[in-house]
Structure 1
């Protein structure tokens, strides 16, 4: 019996009509396997989302639209089960943007790409109300801005207390340097947000802490080791 669903949202590009990137999809699969393995006792199902095109494409927000359609498909296939949107880069932006779907209970955004243009409106945050939200960003990310994700988290915290953000010191966009810790953090958050599974102490503390503490929580080396069998 399916108890919950994670929709994996791969990275994309700012503007493109090309088909989805197999490379970006491949990068999301280790997270999917980790979540499926840990969540199997709860009936967790993980589905990668295959975009129609890989471009966000301005106001069209194509990747967010595809995420919403995938959530609709979950409802058609499984009924009323909680959904977590989990994305990296542009997939992280799509996860945050599509959080207003009724079935979405939580959002995991890894190194989310966010707009920095002076003439672009800031990313909305009202759709995050009532959702559990975790943002993870490497401090040395040269592709997506850690500062922009902090500023979004700061705005979101004003309308939704159930948001936290972890910083992975010295890590880059791919979060490879502390890959095991990032997977453990993501897994702990997803299980805690979708099922009656207690959060690890650092996650619970980050959610409870006021800004900036809960939005600049360092991801400790070795996170998750004590949770492994």
Structure 2
């Protein structure tokens, strides 16, 4: 059967809602590929690798009123100027406001999803972004980050998305916005399979910390307080409580 044209697809979300009123939302954005207008696969690796992150955030945040949403895109590709995942992220942010009002939102994205998260970071509901192995080409525009926190993590052996791109973007961002920090996950690549527990714990703490549900790790707060060029190549070491 031929793929449907992109215009007929619809984004949708998997959600875990708290039992009471929603006080905040963690919106999770999965990765994809540079180009693609076919029907996305619900069981793709890009989707599967984000479900544990959504699950951890939900487990730790639901009691505090945090809803966890995982966005399914209309199409699997970024598709150049169309920036389709960013358009879908804007739709999800509008849907959050429609359902829950002007609650604070954090965005957690991997690879292409991290690019989409950063692209829509200046939305009025967004208070922070956790960008995991973000795909950030040199020409990627800089959003208005005033009043928002940007936390990034990148594997030092990422052969799919060069970590130099996220570092250079972080330098540009921190030059004008102090609440930026970047961490290096030593010895791992792009897929977040090695040291998966560390990636998941970092994403959970970043999300719930930016929502002020739990304290950010001292490693994170210290990096945020650093002046350029420090605070952007910090080895990720997960606290062992």
Task: Decide: shared fold, TM above 0.5.
Answer: yes
The residue number in structure 2 matching 1:32 is: 54
Query: How large is the Cα RMSD of the aligned pairs?
Result: 1.2
SS in 2 for 1:143: coil
Partner of 2:239: 224
Mapping of residues 79-228 of structure 1, within 5 Å: 79-115=101-137, 122-195=139-212, 197-220=214-237, 223-226=238-241
Counterpart among 59, 66, 69 of residue 88 in structure 2? 66
Unmatched tracts of structure 2, length 5 or more = 1-20
**Partner Cα separation in structure 2 for residue 32 and residue 197 of structure 1:** 16
Equivalent pair of 1:42/1:195 in contact (CA under 8 Å): no
TM-score relative to the length of structure 1: 0.92
Aligned with 2:100 (options 78, 87, 92): 78
- Count of residues in Structure 1 that have an aligned counterpart in Structure 2: 219
Query: Normalization by structure 2: what TM-score?
Result: 0.87
Look up the match of 2:35. 15
> When you count helix as a share of all residues, which structure comes out higher?
1
Task: Note the residue ranges of structure 1 that are not aligned, 5 or more in a row.
Answer: 117-121
Moved over 6 A (4+): none
Aligned counterparts of 1:139 and 1:64: Cα–Cα separation in 2: 26
Q: Tell me, yes or no, if structure 1 residue 54 matches structure 2 residue 69.
A: no
Query: Offset at 1:196?
Result: 5.0
- Do structure 1's residue 45 and structure 2's residue 62 form an aligned pair? no
Q: How many Å separate the matches in 1 of 2:137 and 2:167?
A: 13
Deviation sequence 1:120-172 (CA, Å, 0-9, x none): xx212233232111111000001111000000000000121111111001110
Do the aligned residues in 1 keep the contact of 2:26 with 2:69 (CA within 8 Å)? yes
Alpha-carbon distance between aligned partners in 2 of 1:199 and 1:224, rounded to the nearest angstrom: 11
Alpha-carbon displacement from aligned partner over 1:185-224 (angstroms, at most 9, x marks no partner): 211111111125321110100111122321101012xx13
